[in-house]
């Protein structure tokens, strides 16, 4: 786990290098030849799906102000993906970070963006959760060529010659192709130095466990499976710890349920089942008794596991960034975790 003072990477980490490229000799892009350098991971990161219009459109000024606010609060880890807003997240993030150094950036592969047949229809909007024009469509592609094209397109949108982390994104229904083709393609790019570290990002734990056991990935992004109300991903975390694979914890609010106190909203993007909501309320009551807000505990909990290096939290406004940063700075007393364990709300094996 990175130390409390982490947040700015060391020399050569998180800083782009002119002249790096995507493709191998003979297909038109430079080969740096020095191998990838896995970056040090700051403890807290910004997820940029919200600023790309997740559920509700976000204007350019607000998106830029959100990234600037994260930077001013010391955030130096930024996560994006082509999926987020049909490339809008990458374009906005790249523009906001232009000219800055000392940060770690992760993006993802597995979905290619192609011009959509709906692009010319007045008012056509994306139908996969983002309030953006449907000018492109997502095409699943975990082939070697698809991975390389995806990363090449991402670099163009970001305005960067390399990225620190590239993750295979949501290969749930494409596992064999992802293991046999996407992983070797990323490993090759890591060797070329086009990416510093490679891994997989999913909202389940069993499939990433296969990557940890069967490949040489560096990083796992695990969304929603190690939170104060769902620790189902613990077997994956233990395997990552054993093999030296670092974990980025995302989805720590379980899509909204843990983002407010008292808890409300959705669990895994659906209305929260009664039993889950009741469990969240019990956790919130214990938190309140210790002077801790539920979202504060939700962001602090994952870092108790030594495999987890970073917590990545999305925000759509400077105000959300500031609120999260204030909660992250506040200490959580050890007695809180002890009481949650005593009440059967956390497994007894969890120790600070």
Determine the average pLDDT of the residues in 298-318.
Answer: 98
CA pair distance 256, 265, nearest whole angstrom: 5
Neighbours of 139 (CB within 10 A): 12
Query: What CATH number corresponds to the domain at position 217?
Result: 3.20.20.100
| Residue-wise pLDDT tens digits, 73-118 | 999 999 999 999 999 999 999 999 999 999 999 999 999 999 987 6
Q: Is the pLDDT of residue 208 over 60?
A: yes
- For residue 154, is it within any domain? yes
Q: What is the pTM of this model?
A: 0.89
Instruction: Name which residue leads in pLDDT, 248 or 35.
Output: 248
CB 212 within 8 A of CB 221: no
Range of the domain at 56: 44-251+311-342
- For residue 262, is it within any domain? no
84 is catalytic: yes
- For residue 6, is it within any domain? no
CB 182 within 8 A of CB 147: yes
- Give percent above pLDDT 70 in the chain: 88
pLDDT band at residue 120, thresholds of 50, 70 and 90?
low
CB 255 within 8 A of CB 262: no
Q: Is the pLDDT of residue 29 over 70?
A: no
pLDDT at 24: 45
Task: Please tell me the total count of domains within the chain.
Answer: 1
- For residue 269, is it within any domain? no
Using DSSP's 3-state secondary structure scheme, residue 116 falls into coil
Determine the average pLDDT of the residues in 265-283.
Answer: 95
- Give percent above pLDDT 90 in the chain: 84
CA pair distance 52, 213, nearest whole angstrom: 34
Residues listed for the chain = 352
Average pLDDT, the chain: 90
Strands 77-79 and 163-169: unpaired
pLDDT at 37: 67
- For residue 219, is it within any domain? yes
Q: Is the pLDDT of residue 330 over 60?
A: yes
CA pair distance 104, 164, nearest whole angstrom: 6
Among residues 84, 103, 183, 226, which one is catalytic? 84
Lowest mean pLDDT among 26-30, 43-47, 206-210, 309-313: 26-30
């Amino acid at each position: 786990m990175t130390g409390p003072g982490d947040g700015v990477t060391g020399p050569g980490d998180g800083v782009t290098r002119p002249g790096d490229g995507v493709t191998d000799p003979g297909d038109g892009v430079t080969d740096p030849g020095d191998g990838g350098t896995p970056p040090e991971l700051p403890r807290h990161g910004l997820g940029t799906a919200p600023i790309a219009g997740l559920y509700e459109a976000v204007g350019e000024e607000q998106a830029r102000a959100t990234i600037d606010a994260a930077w001013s609060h010391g955030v130096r880890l930024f996560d994006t993906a082509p999926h987020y807003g049909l490339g809008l997240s990458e374009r906005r993030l790249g523009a906001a970070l232009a000219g800055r150094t000392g940060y770690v950036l992760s993006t993802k592969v597995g979905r290619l963006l192609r011009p959509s047949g709906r692009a010319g229809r007045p008012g056509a909007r994306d139908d996969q959760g983002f309030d953006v024009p449907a000018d492109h469509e997502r095409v699943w592609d975990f082939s070697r060529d698809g991975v390389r094209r995806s990363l090449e397109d991402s670099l163009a949108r970001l305005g960067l010659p390399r990225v620190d982390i590239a993750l295979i994104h949501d290969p749930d229904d494409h596992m064999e192709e992802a293991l046999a083709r996407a992983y070797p393609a990323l490993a090759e790019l890591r060797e070329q130095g086009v990416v510093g570290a490679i891994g997989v990002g999913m909202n389940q734990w069993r499939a990433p466990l296969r990557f940890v056991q069967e490949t040489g990935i560096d990083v796992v992004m695990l969304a929603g499976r190690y939170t104060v109300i769902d620790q189902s991903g613990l077997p994956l975390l233990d395997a990552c710890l054993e093999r030296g694979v670092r974990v980025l914890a995302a989805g720590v609010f379980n899509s909204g349920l843990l983002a407010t106190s008292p808890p409300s909203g959705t669990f895994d993007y659906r209305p929260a089942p009664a039993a889950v909501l009741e469990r969240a309320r019990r956790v919130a009551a214990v938190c309140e008794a210790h002077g801790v807000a539920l979202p504060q505990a939700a962001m602090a909990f994952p870092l108790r596991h030594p495999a987890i290096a970073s917590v990545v939290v999305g925000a759509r406004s400077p105000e959300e960034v500031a609120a999260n940063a204030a909660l992250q700075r506040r200490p959580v007393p050890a007695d809180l975790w002890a009481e949650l364990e005593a009440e059967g709300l956390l497994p007894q094996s969890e120790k600070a």
